[in-house]
Amino acid sequence: MTTIEIAQKLGISRGTVSRVINGHPNVNAETRRLVLAELEASGYRPNEVARSLVMKRSHRIAIIVFSEPRFFWEQVRFGVNTAAAQLGAMGVTADYFITDILRPEEQLALLRRLPGEGYGAIAIAPNDVLLLTEEIDKLSASGMPVLLLNVDIPAANRLCYVGCDYEQAGALAAEILCRILPAPGELVALALQDPVISIGQRITGFRRMLSKLNGPAVSQVLRFSRMAEGVYDEVLALLRQNEQIRGIYVALGALEQVARAVIDSGRIGTVAVVGHDLSHEIYGYMRQNAIDATICHEPYSQGYYAVKLLHNYLLSHTPPNHTVLYCKLEAIFRSNAQYYLNQADQLELLNL
């Protein structure tokens, strides 16, 4: 079915058919009704390829993230680039903005600047909920679709959220840690001083699952700054002074420091360590058995989905079916870590 077939059947021109398809105003109501009916009856689907060829629209999408952990956002970036490459022929370009994690105002500035620079859609990993909510609402009100990436603000007026369910991530960490504990003993969790919501949710989920499984309770929660200063020293001291500790849950991004403390305290094999995210450095520690498992949430796909969803919206102007897309929680051990380390290499094979 093409526009021309529809037009012939109705004895009108393709231009008119096209006008009703695209919802142009200047069309006789009766004609419109007829065309709509025929469209429906014939199951017409526009040829997007032809459409994008003639329209030559360009869609600029901005992706705003922050700086830490570096490797995590690099993987997101790779997904963004893959989607943009796939959609390049459709006029999509995606620009990636990395802001300083300690300067959330940089994100605010971008949010204010970008709409004036031709961007039609924004995905942002908000680095400061309080600071950004108002501006996000403003943008949405002005018609700019805003997708929240990796960190949700349910109260904000966003198109949708793409990222993980942090509470469930903490639950999975608890399930795994409970099962692999080398011996009965105490559990320690590491979190943030700041009330960063995602880390807090991980701890909540962790505790809930622990009690559901009748596992050991968390004997203490160590808290650190956002840059995770001093984790190594504190964990090292703790491991040396308290032999009862059998499990450590690292809810913030400091797995590497914990691994080093485990090694330097000679506790490999007598304390289980579970955390989040995966880098080559973390993998190195897994191979030394200083880290037992790590939980990821599809960094690559987060970037990929964000661009796809935004582009879909730009095309159809209808919001996605669901307002939340939870990424998979990936349980990673020594034996399957390679697969998660270099998604890039794997997909290079697809010549993408």
Partner DNA sequence: CTGAAAGCGCTTACAG
Residues contributing to the site for its own copies (CB under 8 A): 47-50, 52-53, 89-90, 160, 168, 171-172, 174-176, 179-180, 209, 292, 305, 308-309, 312, 316, 320-322, 325-336, 339-340, 346, 348-351
Q: Tell which one of 36, 37, 41, 50 touches DNA (CB under 7 A).
A: 50
The nearer residue to its own copies, 198 or 257, going by C-beta atoms, is: 198
- Which listed range, 42-50, 115-123, 236-244, 299-307, lies at the site for DNA (CB under 7 A)? 42-50
Q: Which runs of consecutive H residues, i.e. helices, occur in 117-228?
A: 129-141, 166-180, 197-212
Q: Does 51 bind DNA (CB under 7 A)?
A: yes
CB-based contact 122:144 (threshold 8 Å):
yes
Cα 247–73–197 angle (5° rounding)?
A: 55
Residue 19 touches which member of DNA, its own copies, none, C-beta under 5-8 Å by kind: DNA
- Which listed range, 53-61, 68-76, 116-124, 158-166, lies at the site for DNA (CB under 7 A)? 53-61
> Per CB under 7 A, which of residues 134..193 are in contact with DNA?
none
Q: Does 53 bind DNA (CB under 7 A)?
A: yes
Q: Tell which one of 3, 81, 99, 201 touches DNA (CB under 7 A).
A: 3
The nearer residue to DNA, 17 or 174, going by C-beta atoms, is: 17
Cα–Cα nearest to 331, from 179, 184, 226: 179
Residue 117 touches which member of its own copies, DNA, none, C-beta under 5-8 Å by kind: none
Which tokens go with 38?
A: 């025929």
Contacts of the segment 128-137: beta carbons below 8 A, 24+ positions apart: 128/104, 129/153, 129/197, 131/104, 131/105, 131/107, 132/104, 132/107, 132/108, 132/156, 135/108, 135/111, 136/111
The footprint of DNA on this chain (CB under 7 A) covers a number of residues equal to 27
The nearer residue to its own copies, 81 or 127, going by C-beta atoms, is: 81
Residue-wise burial string across 160-178, b where 16 or more C-beta atoms lie within 10 A, e elsewhere: bbbbbbbbbbbbbbbbbbb
Q: CA neighbours within 13 Å on the CB side: how many for 50? A: 6
Say how far apart CA 84 and CA 80 lie, in whole Å. Answer: 6
Q: Tell which one of 36, 37, 41, 55 touches DNA (CB under 7 A).
A: 55
Strand order in the sheet with 92-99: 92-99, 59-66, 121-124, 146-149, 160-163, 324-326
Which tokens go with 53?
A: 């060829």
Measuring CA to CA, how many Å separate 247 from each of 31, 221, 288, 333, 334? 71, 12, 17, 16, 18
- C-beta of 74: minimal distance to its own copies in Å? 19
Residue 16 touches which member of DNA, its own copies, none, C-beta under 5-8 Å by kind: DNA
- Which listed range, 45-53, 166-174, 265-273, 317-325, lies at the site for DNA (CB under 7 A)? 45-53
Q: Does 312 bind DNA (CB under 7 A)?
A: no
- C-beta of 23: minimal distance to DNA in Å? 9
Residue 222 touches which member of DNA, its own copies, none, C-beta under 5-8 Å by kind: none
Q: Does 22 bind DNA (CB under 7 A)?
A: yes
Q: What's the CA dihedral at 175, 241, 277, 219 to 10 degrees?
A: 40
The residues of the shown chain that bind DNA, judged by CB under 7 A, are 2-4, 12-16, 18-19, 21-22, 24-29, 31, 46-47, 50-51, 53-56
